[in-house]
Structure 1
Amino acid sequence: MSTSVAWEHELQSWLEPFLTHLHHPARRRMCPLYVAGLIGPGERKSLQPIAARLAPVGYDQLHHFVSVGPWDEAPLEAELLVQANRLVGGPEAVLVIDDTALPKKGTHSVGVGPQYAGAVGKKANCQVLVSLTLAKDEVPIPVALRLFLPDTWIKDPERLQRAGVPEALWTERSKPQIALAELQRVMQAGVSFRAVLVDAGYGISAPFRQALTALGLLWAVGTVRIQKVYPADVQMVASTTTRGRPRKTLVPDVEAVSAEAMLAKVSWRWVTWRRGTKGPLRARFAAVRVRVADGPAVQLRGHAAQHLPGEEVWLVGEHRSSGERKYYLSNLPPDTTLKQLTSLIKARWVCEQAHQQLKEELGLDHFEGRSWRGLHRHALLTLIAYLFLQHVRLRAATGGKKKSQRTTTATQLAGHPAHAA
């Protein structure tokens, strides 16, 4: 049996738990074909090129399956969570929340508009998907992708209707709000992980951090150097104001300072968190216990909108050899070591590899349809394809030396030379 026939046969068998949720025979036939088209060879992974490579399957059949067919994605999304949890879930796993941009031309694709795109480091015409990735031992499995709708779309009901956006979503939702909704769905499905990791785009949101804590989760988030914090031993005392009525609200006995200023008082040391392909990955780190200034807003010492001390957490700083400086907050326990903090914080970057492979290997950003349903179905099928590839890779790894992360299973199965992820 050829390599191509072998993996396609295995894919058909592996997909059975997903196919049971597609009750129509035509959909049960189209799903494996579309996933195989995403995995297989070819520069473009949009509908027309996939259909051409899968002849005699027609474009109209695939288009109907992905963009029009009346099937429910929720059972397949739930099955994806079950299978991902089985593969990498557990007490050593982390859940990474991030977003990824899909560059687009024109104005008709759902959610498209001038937005920040990390891939180019500036604003670009693109769609932005909020992503959740389950990862363990540097093995990522993206488990959710949800489109963020910019204000220009939310304020245009006719545009939303044309793109088929469900009416329940015709209200403004920030990326952190979308992420929290998906996080709760993941938790309700029983997915197991140790902590949630996010970058500063989400971490600067006090309501987001507070929601993570309210869910009983451990977390490590990026923040900014100007984030105001108090010393961990800050005391709440009666106000000493001499004007007006005595205030009943207690106030902190010291002023909040920036994260940058707080860490300037702490000793720094070199930490190596893992060995990369070019040698040890290391930087200078410092950590101190603080209380974040994200409590109720009050007037303090003549200044309005000052925040009282909130949760006690770790404030962590990183000085990279390039001169770049980064800041983080984490609610890990007080006895956590600097090495443990660093290792957890750095585990977040595994999702960037997953995003790159979803695009370069599986065509996440190749979808040319304009509808909400079509985009989310295409994204879901790329997630299922990625999960299958990780299943194959991890199974192969148990039989011998672990394969390099820089050689993707997709290129191996497709019979092409691997390229860097």
Structure 2
Amino acid sequence: MSRSTLHDGFDAYLDGLAPQLGHADRVRSFKDYCYGLMLSLPRKSIEPIAASLDPENVQARHQALHHLVAKAPWSDRALLMGVAQWVLPHFLAGATPYWVIDDTSIRKKGRHSVGVSRQYCGEIGKQDNCQVAVSLSVATERASLPVAWRLYLPQSWTDDPARCRRAGVPSEVTFATKPEIALQQVRETLDAGITPGIVLADAAYGKVTAWREQLAEWGLSYCVGVRDDLSVWAPGTEPLPPEWSGKGRPPTRWQQTAEHHPVSADTLAHALESAHYQTVTWREGTNKPLRSRFAAVRVRVARGMQYREPEWLLVEWPEGADEPAKYWLSNLPEDTSLTDLVITAKARWRIERDYQELKQEFGLDHYEGRNWRGFHHHASLCITAYGFLVAERLRRGEQKKIALFPAPALPEAYRPRGRTTRPTPRE
């Protein structure tokens, strides 16, 4: 495909999404910003995009783009649902869909950018000053696409109304945990009519029993990470029925005794005979097939002495390792094979590719503003541009990177805003 044909396709794609912006006056800036995100620029914030699009009128173009991103009250949800409706048909037909819940961090200096706090930063694997956003992506074996994106606000922010006001946080936004944000995204995605998928998430979400129960109540299947201390009733055991004397209100709490009690997932994993563990290959990696040892058993979660239905506990214990590596809990049907359980559990890897490309290729972490609206608008526009390339890959039947549009050369006289044109004096 020629560069001009790709450009024409991108332009038609944006024309189809433009009504989601809510006002015709925003369409030009919308298309300009998305086109800027497709340019091969080292940094994709408003200033370099404006300079690349119109170097002779940078200030005017900067103001227009800034208004679109930081001030205009268009709906992020409406735009992302529009992108989903355009892109998802390219890879959902005939495939098993997954809904992947995850969060990603954006390192940030200072304390004034919305949501910034010293918290766990997945990018470096330790505490750091950063922003964290929760997302829901729709995925299959062929591709994936984020369809929901929401900033997590730590309590240090929600407990400080003045600080939230200065950052433009809507008054109706209150503290919500990451699992609570994820549930809201699931509910909104269901309401939007997106084809339901098997929910995948790591243990930060899966460890919350009420969270899993809400997914089940909505009729969703899940395969989510859990911690090794998850309390379960091993195969062949279950809580004792409540004892009732026949007088008064019948008790409802199931019982355990010193001899009859649940065990941790870790204890159960160690108690399984070696024959329970089988080597499973779940996909082809870059250099070799990805495989490990797994065991799956039917258990009942023990929490609150309530009687729960059996679920799958999936354990990964790599060959030669001293301890199990990971645990998952799934409400998939009892006749689900071990291989299918493993493939499902491991399907979450695609979200990492989304985050990597959104940051490296589309500048997801390049937004330099401080307010709530700008943070979400910039992310929605990045996902919009990314969605087009996801669809193009699928249309061409290849997974290779598609080159972005080349950045135009800037005039020699151009200077970034705030930089003096005078030479640096010699000391």
Which of the five TM-score ranges fits, normalised by the shorter chain? Answer: 0.7 to 0.9
Counterpart-to-counterpart distance in 1, 2:129 and 2:327: 29
CA offset digits 1:263-299 (Å, max 9, x no partner)? 22332111111111111100010010000113xx3xx
Counterpart-to-counterpart distance in 2, 1:322 and 1:150: 40
Counterpart-to-counterpart distance in 2, 1:116 and 1:321: 30
The aligned counterpart of 1:60 is: 63
Structure 1 contact 81–189 (Cα < 8 Å) conserved: no
Task: Tell me: CA distance 1:371–1:322, structure 2 relative to 1, closer, same or farther (3 Å).
Answer: farther
The aligned counterpart of 2:339 is: 339
Query: Which is strand-richer, 1 or 2?
Result: 1
Root-mean-square deviation over aligned CA pairs: 2.3
The aligned counterpart of 1:273 is: 282
Residue 401 of structure 2 corresponds to residue 408 of structure 1: yes
The aligned counterpart of 1:263 is: 269
Structure 2 contact 20–82 (Cα < 8 Å) conserved: no
Give the gaps of 5 or more residues in structure 2. Answer: 408-427
Of 313, 325, 328, the residue aligned with 2:311 is: 313
Structure 2 contact 254–307 (Cα < 8 Å) conserved: no
In the TM superposition, 1:54-133 aligns within 5 A as: 54-55=53-54, 56=57, 58-89=61-92, 92-133=96-137
TM-score normalised by structure 1 residue count = 0.88
In the TM superposition, 1:19-418 aligns within 5 A as: 19-55=18-54, 56=57, 58-89=61-92, 92-169=96-173, 171-233=174-236, 234-239=238-243, 249-252=253-256, 254-266=260-272, 267-294=276-303, 297=304, 307-320=305-318, 323=321, 325-397=325-397, 402-403=398-399, 407-409=400-402, 412-414=403-405
SS in 2 for 1:20: helix
Counterpart-to-counterpart distance in 2, 1:221 and 1:105: 33
Task: Tell me: CA distance 1:64–1:321, structure 2 relative to 1, closer, same or farther (3 Å).
Answer: farther
Shift of 1:113: 0.4
Counterpart-to-counterpart distance in 2, 1:391 and 1:248: 53
Shift of 1:232: 4.5
Structure 2 contact 144–351 (Cα < 8 Å) conserved: yes
TM-score normalised by structure 2 residue count = 0.86
The one-letter amino acid paired with 1:278 is N
Counterpart-to-counterpart distance in 2, 1:9 and 1:248: 65
SS in 1 for 2:29: helix
Give the gaps of 5 or more residues in structure 1. Answer: 298-306, 417-421
CA offset digits 1:49-85 (Å, max 9, x no partner)? 1111111462111101111124333432331232243
Counterpart-to-counterpart distance in 2, 1:232 and 1:263: 12
Counterpart-to-counterpart distance in 2, 1:250 and 1:309: 7
Shift of 1:252: 4.2
